Amino acid sequence: MTASDTKMTDNRPFAIRAYTPDELRGALKRMYLIRRFEEGAEDSYMRGLIHGTMHLSIGQEASAVATCMELTDDDKITSTHRGHGHCIAKGADVGRMFAEFFGKETGYCHGRGGSMHIADVKTGNLGANGIVGGGLPIAVGAALSAKRLGKSDVTVCFFGDGANNEGAFHESLNMASVWKLPVVFVCENNQYGMSTSIRRSTAVARISDRAAAYSMPGVTVDGNDFSAVAEAVHLANARARAGDGPSLVENLTYRWRGHSKSDRNRYRTKEEIEMWMGQDPITRFRTELIAHGITDEAGADAIEAAAVADMEAGIAFAKASPAPDVSEVTRYVYAEV
Amino acid sequence: MNAVPQDTALRTLSYAEAIREAMAIAMEADPAVILMGEDIGVYGGAFQVTLDLVDRFGPDRVMDTPISELGGAGVAVGAALTGLKPIFEFQFSDFAMLAMEQIVNQAAKLRYMLGGEASVPVVFRLPSGSGTGAAAQHSQSIEAWFGHVPGLKVLQPSTPADAKGMLLAALADPDPVMIFEHKLLYKMKGPVPAGHHLTPIGKAAVRREGSDLTIVAGSIMVHRALEAAGRLATEGISAEVVDLRSIRPIDHETILASVRKTGRLMVVYEGVKAFGVGAEISALVAESDAFDFLDAPILRLGAADAPVPYNPDLERASVPQVDSIESAARRLARREV
């Protein structure tokens, strides 16, 4: 990491300065993988291969991947109901993710969790959460563990704009700050809590303004700009690892799809959606990488094709996987002795 | 009483001292054990259960939390998920209602939602029960609520030995455990084994043998039932008193064996009578072969269908007392119900 050393003389975007070409191409691959995974999941849902519901993060891929850019498997994340991107960004295998969505025994949660509880504990993903704000105190607890156990790990707590009005948000930020815990609160502000816009639900103009109430740095960045997110989280991680406590990073972004599969999109206009689709974080990052010679059109196409291949292989794995044995419906409720 | 290992010295300790001893033993043995709660540090806890533990183990391991029950419980859940073993004290069990989300949606379900890939070895301590004049929001007995939740273990110690043994057993258990301590028992003294004494989770204890009826009771109601049984013995009625000890898992075998022997069942508990522990125990008897051994209807004695009142006479009248247990047991023994 030489970003801060070179900043004065190097006007290239943070990510280009901070990461190796391999890391950057890997990030583009993960962004494509999230997009193709969610399109594949949506298609599988339409075909009746996936039941229940799901919350797609299409349009928010930069936030997930740039936030997780510097995290290791020892660093933890807590995720949200819109958590597929976080899971992939943290390093999960899409085959096991699809298997979970298909309700298969080979899924990350052995078919017990589905989309809303997708997790991969081995890569530090403590799980998506079906309760808005549910992961916030858990993230603070994970950071407490790191501090008490003398580890330098950080915990990144993803949450949406909707969660910023939950009591759990306020209690969690307060405790993290009082105890100076190594946690980075990352708000993915996609501007709607289901149908209710941030303006109609939230008294402050920017969610990052709330950081001041808990004596921590708060910053709002363009959440569709990979470099902007990566730089903000980089600084927050550094502060956390140095023992200086938590930060709040607000990634301003937009979900292209509805809240869930029941959404009729009656609360926002076609023009608004199209405007944001013109701010596609993947296209922007791809263009940036090509402009800085990290890859070229053919190279980027190959990266995208690799993501498609991974997605298709993942679906094939899920289809071929065994279903759970219905006699094991109570398995995993308690530890097996 | 339980058999105690021969090499284990018995001392007389109060229920609160026994709990404190268990916490100290666990903290000495395992640096991952921490205490969390409101005013558990220099104040010593609202009921002086943690007393001077902060002097012995320091404020990093005996953590005063802000008055943030939801967030605090969630921090304990997150810490348990990532390597610590928190013992979280709710100042009053009533306050656990502020944290239902983290207890019920998170702690209880995480192992299952994640397909057995995670453990939440958290212990919640909950001072509960009436008799202190603290009225409706500081006197409840809500243990049955949690009996309804798969993934939790729910305990109710009635003796100092069990108060210690259950806490150490809970810490050794990989799943979340809720221990409902009775406020009126904190000063009660009794023999307590030294060292790492464990009370098995899920095992009831026959505290008094009898042949005419079975009284299943928990927590302080065990003592009231024993006193009532003593009085009834003078008039030739032989009551067997079973200390439930564990609400979840519940010890079917001990209860059913006692009912098969006596042919009469009364359940005494401090929670509101309707939809309570008595309903579950009645149903498990009614659904079993022990039903054929019943010589009288099952009788439940629980709290009045009202909040716990302030006036001391009303308060006493609102929950089972020795007199009401005695008269109900007599009616049951004479088949006057």
Q: Do B42 and B151 sit in the same domain of this protein?
A: yes
User: Would you say residue A5 has pLDDT above 60?
Assistant: no
Q: Do B173 and B236 sit in the same domain of this protein?
A: no
User: Would you say residue A207 has pLDDT above 50?
Assistant: yes
Q: Closest approach of chain A CAs to the CA of B157, in angstroms? A: 21
* A58 three-state secondary structure: coil
Low-confidence winner among A256-270, B45-59, B243-257 (lowest mean pLDDT): A256-270
B2 occurs within a structural domain: no
The parent domain of residue B33 ranges over 12-193
**What pLDDT is recorded for position A7?**
58
In this prediction, the answer to ipTM > 0.85 reads: yes
Contact B74 A140 (CB under 8 A): yes
Q: Do B95 and B169 sit in the same domain of this protein?
A: yes
DSSP characters over A148-213: HTT----EEEEEEGGGGGSHHHHHHHHHHHHTT--EEEEEEE-SEETTEEHHHH-SSSSGGGGGGG
- Domain termination residue (choose one: B165, B193, B221): B193
- Give the CATH number for residue B75: 3.40.50.970
Contact B115 A107 (CB under 8 A): yes
Task: Evaluate whether A27 touches A226 at the Cβ level (below 8 Å).
Answer: yes
Q: Do B179 and B294 sit in the same domain of this protein?
A: no
**What pLDDT is recorded for position B335?**
86
- Report chain B residues whose CB lies below 8 A from the CB of A113: 113-115
Q: Do B127 and B212 sit in the same domain of this protein?
A: no
User: What percent of chain B has pLDDT above 90?
Assistant: 96
Report how many domains make up chain B: 2
Contact A109 B117 (CB under 8 A): yes
Residues B73-101 have pLDDT tens digits of: 999 999 999 999 999 999 999 999 999 99
Q: Is the peptide bond before B249 cis (omega within 30 degrees of 0)?
A: yes
B200 occurs within a structural domain: no
User: Would you say residue A1 has pLDDT above 70?
Assistant: no
DSSP bridge pairs for B302: none
**What pLDDT is recorded for position B1?**
44
Which long-range contacts link B316-320 to residues 24+ away (Cβ below 8 Å)?
B316/B131, B318/B130, B319/B130, B319/B131, B319/B141, B319/B270, B320/B221, B320/B224, B320/B268, B320/B269, B320/B270
Contact A175 B66 (CB under 8 A): yes
Element (H, E) at B271: strand B265-272
User: What percent of chain B has pLDDT above 70?
Assistant: 98
Q: Does B250 touch chain A (CB under 8 A)?
A: no
Residues B32-41 have pLDDT tens digits of: 999 999 999 9
Task: Evaluate whether A84 touches A57 at the Cβ level (below 8 Å).
Answer: yes
Helices then strands, each counted (H, E), chain B: 12, 14
> Does domain A23-320 correspond to CATH entry 3.40.50.1100?
no
Q: Do B184 and B322 sit in the same domain of this protein?
A: no
Domain layout of chain A by residue ranges: 23-320
Confidence class for position B69, pLDDT limits 50, 70, 90: very high
Residue B138 is a catalytic residue: yes
Q: Do B178 and B221 sit in the same domain of this protein?
A: no
- Give the CATH number for residue B224: 3.40.50.920
Residue B69 is a catalytic residue: yes
User: Would you say residue A120 has pLDDT above 70?
Assistant: yes
- Domain termination residue (choose one: B163, B193, B223): B193
Q: Do B184 and B223 sit in the same domain of this protein?
A: no
Q: Can you give the three-state secondary structure of A6-56, one letter per residue?
A: HCCCCCCCHHHHHCCHHHHHHHHHHHHHHHHHHHHHHHHHHCCCCCCCCCC
Contact B116 A121 (CB under 8 A): no
**How big is the A-B interface in CB pairs under 8 Å?**
155
- Report chain B residues whose CB lies below 8 A from the CB of A335: 111, 116, 119, 173-175
- Domain termination residue (choose one: B193, B215, B238): B193
Tokens of A278: 């013109």
Residues B106-139 have pLDDT tens digits of: 999 999 999 999 999 999 999 999 999 999 999 9
The catalytic residue among B21, B138, B143, B197 is B138
B4 occurs within a structural domain: no
**What pLDDT is recorded for position A79?**
98
Calculate the alpha carbon distances from B143 to A219, B22, B125, B187 in Å: 44, 22, 11, 21
